[in-house]
C-alpha cells in the first residue's frame, strides 16, 4: 500500500504549521492573487460542489475566473460515511478530466455503454502494473491517476459504497483537438505515478515523471517533480504554457515573477503564460509537486 501524501495527515507537517500560524496570527495568509499568477494556501480553501460528483466537497483552487486560466482545478474530499460517485469527464461534452488520488482509494469503472468513448478495453491505456480481473474496474491508491477524454463514461466510487474514503485532485479543461491529423480522441489513461519511469532532463537536478503519453492527441500533461533538499530549478523559466501546481511533500521557496514565497505541502499555485518561475527545495526531506502543463499545441 502506498503512503498518503503528507499534507492530508492531520496534525503533522504543514497542517501543524498552518494551525500554529492561524492561531497566532488570525487573518494572516500567504495566499495572493496577481494578474497572472496566484498562490492559494490550504487555509484559503472554500469547499463547494464538484461537477459530475456527488457526496464530495471540493475547493476550486484554480479556474478561468482567475485571470486567463484555461482550466479548472479542485482539491476534493469524499464526505465520510457517504457513497461518493463521479461520472464521466465533467459537466460539458467537450471537457476532458484528470484525477490524481492523494489519500484513500477511488474505484474507477468503465461501463460498456455504446455511447462512451472509452467503452472498450482497447480505448483504455494502462500505465500501471496492476490490472483488474476484467480490465473494466480498477482501484486507484495514493499516486494513482486517471485521464478521461471527452464523452468518456467512467463511474468513480468511494466512501461507504467502497468501504473507504479518499481525497483527490480534479482537473477539467476543454479539449483542444490537434491539427496533426489525429482523427480519434485520445485514449483514457490509468496508472500510478510510482510505475511511471523517471525521465532525464538535461541540465536539471529534479526527477521528472510525465504521467500522460507525449503524443499529439493529448493536449496537456501532468508532471510529478521531486527535489532533494538544496536542489533547485536550473532554468529561470518563462514559457507560454500555463501551470496548476499542488505541493505534495516537503517545502521550499517558489519564485513567481518578482515575489518569493516559502511554500509547503498543500499549497496550490497558478502560473499564467510567461510568469517567471523558479523553485528551490529546503528542509530535511524530499519535496515533490504535481504540475499541470498544457502541451503539444501550436502557441500561435
Binding site for Mn ion (CB under 5 A): 237
146 touches 166 (CB < 8 A): no
Q: Evaluate whether 7 touches 248 at the Cβ level (below 8 Å).
A: yes
- Mention every residue, 6+ apart, whose C-beta is less than 8 A from residue 10: none
Per-residue binding string, ligand UGY, 253-282, x by CB under 6 A, is ------------------------x-----
- Assign residue 162 a region: left if phi > 0, alpha if psi is -120 to 50, beta otherwise? alpha
Minimum separation from the CB atom of position 278 to ligand UGY (A) = 8
Stretch that binds ligand UGY, among 83-91, 133-141, 161-169, 237-245 (CB under 6 A): 237-245
Q: Which is nearer to Mn ion, 109 or 237 (CB)?
A: 237
Distance CA 206, CA 200 (A): 9
Q: Residue 129, Cβ neighbours under 10 Å: how many? A: 9
Angle at 65 between CA 300 and CA 253, to 5 degrees: 80
> Least CB distance from residue 232 to ligand UGY, whole Å?
10
Owner of C-alpha cell 518563462: 238
Nearer to ligand UGY, 8 or 243 (CB): 243
Minimum distance from residue 243 beta carbon to ligand UGY (Å): 6
Pairing of strands 124-127, 188-192: parallel
Q: Least separation, in Å, of the C-beta of 34 and ligand UGY?
A: 16
Give the interface segment with ligand UGY, choosing from 80-88, 123-131, 186-194, 235-243 (CB under 6 A): 235-243
Q: 90 or 244, CB closer to Mn ion?
A: 244
The item of ligand UGY, Mn ion, none sharing an interface with residue 291, based on CB under 5 to 8 Å by kind, is: ligand UGY
**For residues 18 and 277, which CB has a smaller minimum distance to ligand UGY in the complex?**
277
Choose among 169, 168, 191, 165: nearest CA to 104.
165
| Residue 38 CB partners (closer than 8 Å, separation 6+) | 31, 32, 62, 66, 269, 270
Applying CB under 6 A, among 70, 151, 285, 293 the residue interacting with ligand UGY is 293
- Judged by CB under 6 A, which of 43, 135, 195, 237 binds ligand UGY? 237
For residue 202, which phi and psi values (nearest 5 degrees)? -55, 130
Q: Cα dist. 63→31, 37, 174, 237, 278 in Å?
A: 15, 12, 12, 22, 22
CB of 233 to ligand UGY, least distance (A): 6
Give how far the C-alpha of residue 217 lies from the chain's centroid of Cα atoms, to the nearest Å. 19
User: Does 291 help bind ligand UGY (rule: CB under 6 A)?
Assistant: yes
Q: Give the CB-nearest residue to ligand UGY.
A: 277
**Stretch in the footprint of ligand UGY (CB under 6 A) among 39-47, 50-58, 114-122, 233-241:** 233-241
Minimum CB–partner distance for residue 138 and ligand UGY (Å): 28
Q: Residue 251 binds what, of ligand UGY, Mn ion, none (CB under 5 to 8 Å, by partner type)? A: none
Which spans of this chain sit near ligand UGY (rule: CB under 6 A)? 225, 233, 237, 239, 243, 277, 291, 293
Amino acid at each position: 500500500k502506498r503512503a498518503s501524501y503528507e499534507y492530508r495527515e492531520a496534525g503533522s507537517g504543514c497542517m501543524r504549521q498552518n494551525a500554529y500560524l492561524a492561531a497566532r496570527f488570525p487573518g494572516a495568509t500567504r495566499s495572493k492573487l496577481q494578474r497572472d499568477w496566484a498562490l492559494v494556501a490550504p487555509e484559503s480553501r472554500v469547499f463547494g460542489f464538484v461537477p459530475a460528483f456527488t457526496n464530495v466537497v471540493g475547493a476550486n483552487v484554480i479556474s478561468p475566473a482567475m485571470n486567463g486560466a484555461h482550466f479548472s482545478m479542485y482539491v476534493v474530499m469524499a464526505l465520510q460515511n457517504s457513497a461518493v460517485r463521479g461520472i464521466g469527464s465533467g459537466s460539458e461534452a467537450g471537457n476532458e478530466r484528470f484525477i490524481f488520488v492523494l489519500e484513500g482509494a477511488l474505484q474507477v469503472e468503465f461501463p460498456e455503454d455504446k455511447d462512451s468513448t472509452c467503452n472498450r478495453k482497447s480505448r483504455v491505456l494502462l500505465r500501471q502494473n496492476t490490472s483488474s480481473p476484467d480490465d473494466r474496474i480498477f482501484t486507484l491508491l495514493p499516486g494513482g491517476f486517471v485521464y478521461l477524454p471527452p464523452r468518456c463514461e467512467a463511474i468513480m466510487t468511494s466512501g461507504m459504497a467502497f468501504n473507504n474514503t479518499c481525497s483527490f485532485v480534479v482537473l477539467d479543461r476543454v479539449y483542444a483537438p490537434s491539427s496533426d491529423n489525429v482523427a480519434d480522441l485520445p485514449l483514457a489513461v490509468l496508472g500510478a505515478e510510482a510505475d511511471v519511469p523517471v525521465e532525464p532532463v538535461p541540465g536539471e537536478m529534479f526527477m521528472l515523471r510525465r504521467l500522460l503519453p507525449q503524443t499529439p492527441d493529448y493536449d496537456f500533461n501532468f508532471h510529478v517533480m521531486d527535489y532533494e533538499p538544496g536542489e533547485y530549478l536550473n532554468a529561470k523559466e518563462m514559457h507560454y504554457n500555463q501551470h496548476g501546481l499542488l505541493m505534495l511533500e516537503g517545502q521550499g521557496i517558489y519564485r513567481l515573477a518578482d515575489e518569493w514565497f516559502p511554500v509547503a505541502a498543500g499549497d496550490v499555485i497558478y502560473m499564467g503564460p510567461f510568469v517567471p518561475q523558479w523553485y528551490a527545495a529546503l528542509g530535511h526531506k524530499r519535496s515533490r509537486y504535481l504540475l499541470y502543463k498544457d502541451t503539444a499545441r501550436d502557441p500561435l
